[in-house]
Structure 1
Amino acid sequence: MAGRRDGRGMTVVIETRGLSKRYRGGQLAVDRLDLAVPAGSVFGFLGPNGSGKTTTIRMLMGLIEPTEGTASVLGRAMPRAAGAVLPHVGALIEGPALYGYLNGRDNLLRYDSADPTADPRTRRARVAGALERVGLTAAGGKKAKAYSLGMKQRLALAAALLQPRRLLVLDEPTNGLDPQGMREIRALVRELAGEGTTVFLSSHLLDEIEQVCTHAAVMARGRLLTQGTVAELAAGTRGRLAVTTPDPGDAARVLKELGVTDVTVAGDRVTGELPVSGEGEPAEPAELNAELVRAGVRVRAFGVERASLEDAFVALTGEGFDVAG
C-alpha cells in the first residue's frame, strides 16, 4: 500500500480535498480543507480551540464521515478503505483508552490479540518490546487504573507501536508528561521518522512542534491558513529587531522614526518589528544600526531574532495558542 504522488513528484500519505464537516444544527467544524502530508515527514497539526483539528483527525481515521470532500490515507479513500488502511496506522486520539482493571502488559496483550494481522506466537515479545520502547517495562505489571496520566499516555503510545506502522497519528502525545518524558517522546518520534514512519501529530506545545516537526499546518475556525515546512512557515514571519543600549529611550525614539513598529523597552533592551520596504522586503538591519549610531545612541548589541513557529502562528491567527484546541 503506497501513498499518492502529487504534482511535484512528492509522495503524500495523507491528502484531503475540499474536506468539510458540518454537524447537526449547522455548525461547520471543518471547511474545505486541502491538506497534503509528505511521506517520511513529522507533520505538526496546529490550531486554537475550535479550529477543527480533532474533527479532521477523526475523519482521517474513518471514525466519522465528512459532509463533503474527500480524504485519503496511504493512497486509499477513507472511510471506505478503513479495513485495509488502519492495520498500517498506529493512533493515539483524544487520550488513552485503557482497561483500568488490567495491568499495562495485559492491556497490550488484549490490543495485540484484537489485531487479525498479529502473529500470536510472537505476541509477548512484541508487547515486551513496546513497553521497553516507551519506558514502561518496570510498570508493566501495575494496573492501568493506578497509572498517572503520563504513564497512560506512554501505554497508549506503546499500543500504537505494537506493529511496524507506515503512519503514526498522535493527538497531544506529551499530555501529562514531565519534561524528561517529553524529551523521551521527542526522541522516540525522531527515531520512528528515521525508520521511515510518517508521524502526524497535533499539540498545544508550539515549542515541542518546532523541535521535532519537519512540516506543519495551521488551522483556525475550521479553515487551513497555511502549510509547509516548519522553516518556511517561520521564515514567512518577520524577525524582531533587538538592541541593547544604555540609551533605551533615545533608541526607541529613533527606531520609531525609522519605521520600526511595536517598539518595546525593557531595561536596556529595545525590540521591535522590522519595517518593510515598498517592495515588501524587510529593511536592512545594518542601515538601522548605522542610523542609531549617527543619532548618538550607544549600541552595545544589535541583531535580528529569528522568527519562531509561535510568531508565525500568532501572525496567522491573530491570537495566542489555546491549549484546549
Structure 2
Amino acid sequence: MEELSAAEPGPEPGPEPESAPESESEPGPAGAGDAPGDGVIVTRALTKRYRGGQLAVDGLDLTVPAGSVFGFLGPNGSGKTTTIRMLMGLIEPTSGTARVLGRPMPRSARTVLPHIGALIEGPALYGFLSGRDNLLRYDAADPTADPRTRRTRVAATLDRVGLTAAAGKKAKAYSLGMKQRLGLAAALLQPRRLLVLDEPTNGLDPQGMREIRSLVRELASDGTTVFLSSHLLDEIEQVCTHAAVMAQGRLITQGAVADLAAGARGRLVVTTPDVTDAARVLKEQGVADIVVAEDRVTGEPPDGELAELNAALVTAAVRVRGFGVERASLEDAFVALTGEGFDVAG
C-alpha cells in the first residue's frame, strides 16, 4: 500500500519538521464535503502535463457524491492513476483545482489525509514482519491513533479482512491476495470519511472478492465514501452506486451506474435451434455485429420495429424459442463510450 508517499517503507520516521500553519481548518466529522449533495471529491479543469509534453490528465471535472461507492474506470493510459495521485497530494497538478473533503489539495494534505484510508498501486509491507506487526507499525505512525487501544484495534481489523489465522505469519510469505487484504486492513485501522482503493480485489479468489465487495458495501452503509478504481467492470457494476469513465486523459462521462448502463443499447437475443438461418435473416434485416453461440444469436438491434424482425424470422421458418433485448451492461456502455475493450493494465 502506498502510504501517501512514493518511497518504500523504511525505518519509522521521527517528528516532522515544523511548517507554516494550514490556512484551512482541519476537517471534522461533519466538515465540508460531507453534507448530502456535496462532493467529497471535486475537481475543476484538473490537468497534469509531464515533462516532454505528455498530457496525462486533461481538464478533468469530477464530482464524487458523499456516501457513494464511486467506480473510476478507464483503459490503459487513461489517466486514472495520475488523477488518484493528484487527489492524494502525491504529485502536483499542472493547472486546475482539486478539493478533497472540502479542502484544496495538495495544500491541505496534512489536515485531510488523516481522514482518508488509501490502498494505491498495491500494498507496501515489511516482509520480515508479521501481518500483525505490520499493522502495529502503521498504526504507531498515525498521530491520531490511541496507543492504549492499538492491539485491540489491530486485532479487530485483521478479523475484519479475514487474516486473524495468518496474523503471526511473516508478510513475505503471504500470497498476493493475503497481501492485498493486509493493505486494505492498514487503510481501515481508523474510521475514515473517504476510502481510496486501487484494484482492491487484485489477487483474490472468488470468495475473497465477494468478501471485499461485502466489506465495501458495509463501509458505505456506515457513511464512508469509497472511491474505487478497478479493471473488473462486473465488480464495479455489482458494488458501485456511481462511476466515471476516462479515456486518453479526458473524462468521457460520469453519473449513477444504472444511468450509464441505461444509456447504452442492449443486445438483441434470439434463442433457436436454427442459428444459421436466424443469423442470415437477421443480417438481411439490418442487424449488425451478429454473434452465434450454441442455440443463441445476438446482435445490435436495428432502429425499426422489433415485431417485424420477429415476423421475418417466423416467415423464414426459423423456430423462435426466445426473442428479446437484453439490458445493456456497464461493459456495453464502456465499449460504446471509449470505442475499445477494457485493458487490465489501465
1:231 match: 258
Which string of whole-angstrom CA distances, capped at 9 and with x for unpartnered residues, describes residues 134-190 of structure 1? Answer: 001111111111111111111110010010001000001011111111111111101
Count of paired positions: 317
Deviation at 1:284, TM superposition (A): 4.3
Percentage of identical aligned residues? 83
Q: TM-score scaled to structure 2, two decimals?
A: 0.88
Do structure 1's residue 107 and structure 2's residue 128 form an aligned pair? no
Which whole-Å CA distance do the structure 2 matches of 1:248 and 1:55 have between them?
47
Aligned AA (2:160): R
**Cα distance per residue 1:192-248 (max 9 Å; x no partner):** 111111100111111111111111111111111111111111111110001112333
| Structure 1 residue corresponding to 2:318, chosen from 297, 307, 313 | 297
Residue of structure 2 in register with 1:279 after alignment:
none
Q: 1:269 aligns with which of 282, 296, 303?
A: 296
- d(CA) in 2 for partners of 1:266, 1:147: 41
What is the distance in 2 between the residues matched to 1:298 and 1:274?
Answer: 19
Decide which of 192, 196, 209 is 1:182's aligned counterpart: 209
C-alpha contact 1:285 1:304 (8 A) present in aligned 2? no
Do residues 157 (structure 1) and 184 (structure 2) align?
yes
Write the letter of the residue equivalent to 1:197. T
Unmatched tracts of structure 1, length 5 or more: 277-282
Structure 2 residue ranges without an equivalent (≥5): 1-26
3-state SS of paired residue (2:159) = helix
Partner of 1:280: none
Secondary structure at the counterpart of residue 40 of structure 1: coil
C-alpha separation between the residues in 2 aligned to 1:247 and 1:125? 64
Alignment-derived partner of residue 260 in structure 1: 287
> What is the correspondence of 1:73-88 to structure 2 with a 5 Å cutoff?
73-88=100-115
**What is the TM-score normalised by the length of structure 1?**
0.93
1:277-321 deviations in Å (ceiling 9; x for gaps): xxxxxx443443234324443211112111111111111111111
Alpha-carbon separation, structure 1, partners of 2:267 and 2:118 = 38
> Which whole-Å deviations, capped at 9, do the CAs of 1:64-109 have from their partners, x for residues lacking one?
0100100010111000111111111000001101111111111111
Q: CA deviation at 1:268?
A: 3.3
Contact 1:12 1:37 in 2 (8 A): yes
- C-alpha RMSD over aligned residues: 1.6
Instruction: Name 1:203's counterpart in structure 2.
Output: 230
3-state SS, counterpart of residue 40 of structure 2: strand
Q: Aligned equivalents of 1:196 and 1:4: distance in 2?
A: 12
Give 1:38 deviation, angstroms.
0.6
Contact 2:41 2:102 in 1 (8 A): yes
Contact 1:204 1:323 in 2 (8 A): yes
